[in-house]
Amino acid sequence: MMRALVKHPDGPGLAMEDVPVPDPGPDEVLIRVHTTGICGTDLHIYEWDEWAQATVPAPMTVGHEFSGHIAGIGVNVGGFEVGELVSAEGHVVCGKCRNCLAGRRHLCKEPKGLGVNIPGAFADYVVVPKQNVWRHIDGLDPEIGALFDPFGNAVHTALAFPVLGEDVLITGAGPIGVMAAAVAAHSGARNVVVTDINEYRLALALRMGATRAVDPTKTDLKALQGELGMTEGFDVALEMSGAPAAMDDILANTIHGAKVALLGIPAEAYAIDWSRVIFNMLTIRGIYGREMYDTWYKMNVLIQSGVDISPVISHRFPAASYEDAFEAARSGEAAKVLIRWAD
């Protein structure tokens, strides 16, 4: 038996329960979970909001950000060894749709989410399909490995457009926004300006390498551009808050021909000033998940070439204190909250 954080359909909250250790099927890998991270998605599932009720087949074990060591290997699985430190790509693709068949798995028609649609990693053990297992580079800290899922969102978005020599605006200094700031700075952006309405997170953005981190309700972004010697606006914008006001800031502060990557998920549909998009000839690109496995490869390279994402870890809790972990994650004064399962 093992411990697992299970979502039940009867209301908010999660329950720590003893459940059987899952058996890996012929094409699956069993992983002893070391460290997990709490994502905004997990908070929605915990709260059991409308989206969660319509999406999660409760009762089910949740969680998708993790690292762990291989503990069992299905008979058809080659190339992995027991004891290796791994994480998993959380999107399990169908393998049959037009994009999957063409090798564009990140564009799968109906990916299933680990810990969202299928049993997840907030447990002592998790089983994942072999094609979703990512072996980490030698010596990687398991805590950094547990960040690879959201780090991948940051890398996928930050590298969606060339940033070398460019002025980059990042709206939203959550864990993903601040990691994107580190990646953009490392990748040669001239200025990386991060906006948020939370002071704790603005301070973190500066620690992660932002040139400036400001509250856009208090600092005029046009004036800030002047201070930084910019004249025509940001070349690249990364939307990482989901806030409609942030999209307005992007439209008002980007250069003609700017490239805009959207990762933040809005709570509901909202209107923008489309004439700005048209007259300024903006390119807008939606970003979902990570590219399999180009983004993962780049994460390795970024870490090996000196990007330090460890400051994004604000809290660590043992699995037994999961309620405290979720409370910390809900508070404004947190970035990435980790839950440790291994001894």
Q: Considering the complex, what minimum distance in angstroms separates the CB of residue 82 from Zn ion?
A: 30
Min separation Cβ 90 and Zn ion, Å: 15
Residue (74 or 264) nearer to ligand NAD, CB: 264
Q: 97 contacts which partner out of ligand NAD, Zn ion, none, CB within 5 to 8 A by kind? A: Zn ion
Q: Which does 40 bind (CB under 5 to 8 A by kind): Zn ion, ligand NAD, none?
A: ligand NAD
Q: How many C-alpha atoms does 29 have within 13 Å on its Cβ side?
A: 29
CB–CB of 38/62 below 8 Å? Answer: no
Residue pointed to by tokens 């899922």: 149
Task: Pick the closer one to ligand NAD by CB: 31 or 238.
Answer: 238
Q: Return the HEC string of 281-316.
A: CCEEEECCCCCCCHHHHHHHHHHHCCCCCHHHEEEE
Q: How far is the CB of 31 from ligand NAD (least distance, A)?
A: 21
Interface residues toward Zn ion, by CB under 5 A: 93-94, 97, 100, 108-109
Binding region for ligand NAD (CB under 6 A) = 40, 153, 171-177, 195-198, 201, 216, 240-243, 245-246, 263-265, 287-289
264 binds, among Zn ion, ligand NAD, none (CB under 5 to 8 A by kind): ligand NAD
Amino acid occupying residue 171: T
Query: Is position 44 annotated as part of the catalytic site?
Result: yes
Closer to Zn ion at the Cβ: 94 or 277? 94
Q: Report, in Å, the least distance between residue 276 CB and Zn ion.
A: 34
Whose Cβ is closer to ligand NAD: residue 42's or residue 124's? 42
Comparison of 103 and 306: residue with beta carbon closer to Zn ion: 103
Q: Which residues contact 102 (CB under 8 A, 6 or more apart)?
A: none
**8 CB-contact burial (10 Å; exposed 0-12 / middle 13-18 / buried 19+):** middle
Residue 201: contacted member of Zn ion, ligand NAD, none (CB under 5 to 8 Å, by partner type): ligand NAD
Residues sharing a CB contact under 8 Å with residue 215, sequence separation 6 or more, in sequence order: 195, 196, 197, 199, 202
Indicate which of Zn ion, ligand NAD, none lies near residue 120 (CB less than 5 to 8 Å, by partner kind): none
* Active-site residue identified among 34, 36, 44, 211: 44
CB 99, min distance to Zn ion, A: 6
- Residue 96: which residues within 8 A CB-CB, separation 6 or more? none
Measured from the CB atom, the residue of 58 and 94 that comes closer to Zn ion is 94
- Residue 102 or residue 164: which is nearer to Zn ion going by CB? 102
Positive or negative, the CA dihedral 24, 29, 32, 33 is: negative
Active-site position among 36, 41, 157, 254: 41
CB of 29 to ligand NAD, least distance (A): 23
Rounded CA separation 133/130 (Å): 5
From the list Zn ion, ligand NAD, none, which binds 94 (C-beta under 5 to 8 Å, kind-based)? Zn ion
Contact at 8 Å (CB) between 302 and 142?
no
CB of 91 to Zn ion, least distance (A): 10
Give the length of the chain. 343
Could you tell me the sign of the dihedral formed by the alpha carbons of 342, 26, 87, 51, in that order?
negative
Question: What three-state secondary structure class fits 142?
Answer: helix
Q: What does 36 interact with, of Zn ion, ligand NAD, none (CB < 5 to 8 A by kind)?
A: none
- Residue 254: beta bridge partners? 234
**Residue whose Cβ sits closest to ligand NAD:** 174
Pairing of strands 65-73, 28-37: antiparallel
Positions annotated as catalytic residues are 41, 44
